[in-house]
Amino acid sequence: MRVRAPLRAGAGAGTVDRRGHLVIDATHLSLRRPAQAPIRAGTRTVPRARLLRRLAAVPEATVVLLRAPAGYGKTTLLAQWAEADARPCTWASALDRRLLDTLDATLAAPRRPLLLVLDDAHLLRDEAVARVRELLATRSGAGVQLALGVRAAPALPLARLRAEDRVLELRARQLALDPYESALLLARACPGLSTADAAALAALAEGWAAALALAARAFAEPDGPRTVDAFSGADRLLAAYVREQLLAELDPATRELLLRSAPLGTLSGALCDALLARSDSGVVLRELADGNMPIEALDRAERRFRLHPLLAEALVADLRRRDGAWEPEAHRRASAWHARRGEIAPAVDHAVAAGHAQRAGALLWDAIPAYAFGAEAERLDGWLRTLGSAPVATTPPLAVAAALRRIAQGQPGEASRLAAIDPPDAPAASGLALVRAALARDGVAQMRADAEAARTALGNRPGWRALASLLAGTAAQLAGDAAAAHEQLEQGAWPAGSGPLVEALSLAQLALLALDGDQPEHACALAVRAVRGMEQAHVAHQPLAAPAHAVAAFADAQAGALVASRTRLTRSQAVLRADAELPPWCEAELRFARARALLRLSDAAGARAELAQMSRAARRLPDAPVLRRWIEDAWARADAFAASAVEGPARLTLAELRVLRLLPSHFSLREIAARLHVSANTVKTQAHAVYRKLDVSSRSEAVARAREIGLVDGAYR
């Protein structure tokens, strides 16, 4: 990425120094614009058009400061600017032995517009600094623009100029290659790289041009990486660059701080002090971020810092060679430090990085419902994936967390497997009881008992209490105890620590209670709160969110908001993936709400299909009388709607529709009569009436005709 400085003198007027920069002899200095900036052989450059436009747009700036660690293309950009700018240009480097002569010649030159480029200006010595100060004091008003390429703050009086808005400063974030520039560099340096691999490498490098160029070179070597995943900061080319260009200039104590804190990734002065028994880490980190190191401050107060991931990988690889036992110890200390401060997520991060499953589970316990059913669920997934299936399955708190997460993802079978462990302590046993309650494999009475017992045992832990209240309240509602259900669901809907899906499902259950009580407006308000909360927490796309969307559609339909109802119905179907499975109570309520909304939208066939699925789910909860009542009421409504499908004298009665609904089954007419609690002769008479009105002569023809006009869907309910 480096280029030589553009030649500003006649033939033979310059030499190249050890870094490949042109050294200008002041005795031959002329201020003529060159025809072309020569590029060093073997170096591929990327045009920085967007940055050149920005530089050209500020001719009034006294100083243009390009400030970034090694490898961010400062020299390249300066050379391209010097080549493109119409003004006379003087180029020099702080490493130039004749720098003072060049600056003196510039001071003595006629007063006219001039671009003065000083590369590596952070290395300016006292005399050179004095000359530049004189230039700023005497020539800045005469059209001289000073362009500085630096790795660290130069020893120049820039604070006043900044206050006067006369400094344009581009740091590493602005100098980083953008995705287009990164792709262009890789296309030139490694043409065989696929588009996907190039994009992955660009994301890995985060615009660090030197890292990207070295990655391309590594891929071109015979023994180089074959996949992007195989390239890291530990690659020998990048590791050598880090040692020579970044670490070599640090003192031993600073190098040690950087090396031993590298496993942590995100650093703070207080954390590093605790980690390494120091008292100056904050100052050192600020100086590193301010100097020749790809470290960025994460806040304006410069309290927290982030290492470039490739730099961190290079340092960690070196650390493992020197002291293999330190990395897990560093994570253990960091986890303890964050835990003392009540910072649970980073404490778990470091416990997981150290491979301490037991500690991770203990730290996570109180927050498990919020993670399993909340916006940070993917972070929980990452922890569980990093630890591995065996440690998770044998660590009760983590097994509970994984089981609840599988329920949220629509994988109750996997949740059952995880819940089969034998917990060694009471809290874990209570957590597993809530998993069993959510799965409801033993009916609503056991679901309620498990949830209420767990709520008592887990005490005043907001997340666990809200989850237990949701499950106990739902079981009470399905058992017909509306008063108890309302009281418990109100507690589940309290958002503190519960997780937005728990809150949303509690509100959806309350909306169903309101709809049962003929309060559509109140139900709408509750359902809107449920959906809005899920959307704000970015969990509205999860399978377990489908019932809340469906209840909102039902409430909207009852309130007459049919367009909104159809939109919510579509959303409820979209979030329920084909491979997702819900617990039976969730499935039954989802299908019931969808069926009632579809009936209101005059989609009888769709409603009947939903009721068929609801009936199948309800069979797994035989002690839920409310579900049976909902099913019977919904079928009655569907039958009443369907009766109008056959008009005139041949219109079907409700009794005939009930018989027709059972004709697709394997039951005989006598068995159908038993299920409908009428005589066999009555069913036989009604069946023949159905055949006559549908203009068919047999049971199979009646079923086929009924399917055609949407009276049945062919599946037994």
pLDDT, averaged across the chain: 87
Segment 230-246 shows an average pLDDT of 94
pLDDT(222) > 50 = yes
At 43 the pLDDT is 46
- pLDDT bracket for residue 22 (50, 70, 90): very low
Segment 691-705 shows an average pLDDT of 86
Please tell me the pTM assigned to this model.
0.77
* 3-class secondary structure, 645: coil
pLDDT(715) > 80 = no
Give pLDDT tens digits for 126-177: 988 998 888 888 876 667 889 999 998 888 888 888 888 889 999 999 999 9
- Based on C-alpha coordinates, what's the Rg of the chain? 36
Residue 685's nearest CA partner among 713, 712, 653, 716 is 653
pLDDT(353) > 60 = yes
Segment 105-125 shows an average pLDDT of 87
CATH topology classification for 14-175:
Rossmann fold (3.40.50)
Say what percent of the chain tops pLDDT 70: 90
What helix, strand, coil percent values describe the chain, rounded to 5?
Answer: 65, 5, 30
At 45 the pLDDT is 79
Q: What phi and psi, each to the nearest 5 degrees, are found at residue 133?
A: -60, -40
Give pLDDT tens digits for 273-297: 999 999 999 999 999 998 899 999 9
Give pLDDT tens digits for 596-649: 999 988 888 889 899 999 999 999 999 999 999 999 999 888 877 766 655 544
The answer to which of 381-385, 549-553, 561-565 has the lowest mean pLDDT is 561-565
pLDDT(4) > 70 = no
pLDDT(717) > 90 = no
Return the top range by mean pLDDT from 229-233, 332-336, 601-605, 704-708: 332-336
The answer to which of 112-116, 353-357, 502-506 has the lowest mean pLDDT is 112-116
pLDDT(652) > 80 = no
pLDDT(505) > 90 = yes
Give pLDDT tens digits for 384-432: 999 999 999 999 999 999 999 999 999 999 999 988 887 777 788 899 9
pLDDT(485) > 80 = yes
Residue 205 in tokens: 């490098």
The DSSP code for 307 is E
Segment 639-662 shows an average pLDDT of 71
At 8 the pLDDT is 31
At 710 the pLDDT is 64
Q: What is the CATH number of domain 478-632?
A: 1.25.40.10
Residue 359 in tokens: 């500690």
- pLDDT bracket for residue 37 (50, 70, 90): very low
pLDDT(264) > 90 = yes
Dist CA 352 CA 382 (whole Å): 10
Dist CA 585 CA 537 (whole Å): 24
The DSSP code for 248 is T
At 706 the pLDDT is 79
pLDDT(554) > 90 = yes
Dist CA 205 CA 568 (whole Å): 42
pLDDT(482) > 80 = yes
453 CA to centre of own chain: 36
Segment 662-670 shows an average pLDDT of 87
Which residue do the tokens 């031959």 mark? 28
pLDDT(28) > 60 = no
pLDDT(30) > 80 = no
To the question of domain 644-708 being in CATH 3.40.50.300, the answer is no
- pLDDT bracket for residue 7 (50, 70, 90): very low
- pLDDT bracket for residue 33 (50, 70, 90): very low
* 3-class secondary structure, 120: coil
Q: Where are the beta strands (DSSP E) in 189-291?
A: 266-268
Q: Where are the beta strands (DSSP E) in 56-205?
A: 63-67, 89-93, 114-119, 144-150, 167-170
